[in-house]
Amino acid sequence: MNIKVVALSVSLLSLGMAGAVQAAETLTGSGSTAIQPVLTKWAATYKEKTGVETNYGGGGSGQGIKDIKAGLVGFGATDKPLTSEELRKDHLIQFPAIIIGIAPIVNLPGIEPGQMVLDGKVLADIYLGKITKWNDPAIVALNKGLKLPDLDISVVHRSDGSGTTFNFTDYLSKVSPEWAEKVGKPNTEIPWPVGAGGKGNQGVAALVQKTVGSIGYVEQAYASENKLAYTRMRNAAGKVVLPDLKTFQAAAANADYGKTEDFYLILTNQKGAESWPITATTWVMLREDAPKATNEEVVKFFRWSLTAPEAKREAEQLAYVPLPDGTVKQIQGYWKSKLGL
């Protein structure tokens, strides 16, 4: 599957009383590029089964939040959850759709996917501009036996409002007091100390791909699909782990949405020997005051994506973690209480 931005338009069809296919309202959606690979796959399968066309165009979590708050789209997707206060203020609801993993990626001569090891402190120091060479002693100490070049580090980050950035910087804030002090609290957009920006996960992936000596961060599906050299990470338990379905699932096992309000839960730097340290969630946002028919069609699509065995398989094939059945039941109860659906 080629990952690319496509025109954002969701055409919904319904059957008339006589069986003829009639055009229903057109929905639009925007937001997270982290969920885009699996959402694009789900859309294709859902269309085959139902005739409903769902083309998702991404745009970044910040764009999704802005658009749904302004009532410009039928649904938005974000990797940065909104607080209950924000939701109430703008007549919104949110629910989790998938668990994602965010991975550092590098472009270094002779370095293959999964060969290099980083930890939180080194990663923060790179993004602070303190570590500027790939053969810096701190990186060498984590990678004994791996030949590292005497090459300048080119830092790549997101240029747009990004939930991937929110979770990446949330992790850096947790593992580096210096990052937390100098850069501040995590957000979709921050004052980056160093580096060049790429738009969307795909923009970061493309910029790293063409820049020798670079490092960036993307949702793992982009690293795998583009055959980028992702790194391993030392996690909160001190264990070195790969960014894969197993380690994302280990981190997600700590997610107890039942104890949260409006599913607000951050999954970075979770405990556990097998947990991937930069694990996150993508949420879908709807307007409570949207036409009921609009929300009904969106809920139908996500009810299928959360419960259908084939949708779960498609997610796992791209290294996304489907939500557990208990969480799905909580989401269905939330839809009923908030939207009557």
What's the rounded Cα separation, in Å, for the pair 269 and 235?
7
Does 337 appear as a known binding residue?
no
What's the rounded Cα separation, in Å, for the pair 306 and 316?
12
Does 164 appear as a known binding residue?
yes
Burial pattern 32-61, b for ≥16 Cβ within 10 A else e, equals bbbbbbbbbbbbebbeeeeebebbbbbbbb
With beta carbons less than 8 A apart as the criterion, state whether 230 and 223 touch: yes
With beta carbons less than 8 A apart as the criterion, state whether 56 and 84 touch: no
- What strands lie across the sheet with 240-241, from one edge to the other? 117-118, 232-234, 240-241
Does 61 appear as a known binding residue?
yes
Does 34 appear as a known binding residue?
yes
- For residue 105, count other CB atoms closer than 10 A to its CB: 24
SS3 12: strand
Residue 205 tokens, joined: 């992936």
What's the rounded Cα separation, in Å, for the pair 14 and 151?
58
Q: Which of 170, 163, 192, 172 is nearest to 123 (CA)?
A: 172
Residue 319 tokens, joined: 């290294």
What's the rounded Cα separation, in Å, for the pair 255 and 276?
13
Q: Which long-range contacts (CB under 8 A, 24 or more apart) does 190-195 make?
A: 190/165, 192/127, 192/155, 192/157, 193/127, 193/128, 193/129, 194/127, 194/128, 194/129, 194/155, 195/127, 195/154, 195/155, 195/156, 195/157
Does 162 appear as a known binding residue?
yes
With beta carbons less than 8 A apart as the criterion, state whether 34 and 167 touch: no
Does 268 appear as a known binding residue?
no
Does 163 appear as a known binding residue?
yes
Does 258 appear as a known binding residue?
no
**What crossing angle do the helices spanning 120-128 and 163-175 adopt, rounded to 10°?**
110
Helix ranges (DSSP H) in 93-199: 120-128, 137-142, 163-175, 177-182
> Which residues are part of a known binding site for phosphate?
32-34, 61, 79, 162-164
Q: Specify binding-site residues.
A: 32-34, 61, 79, 162-164
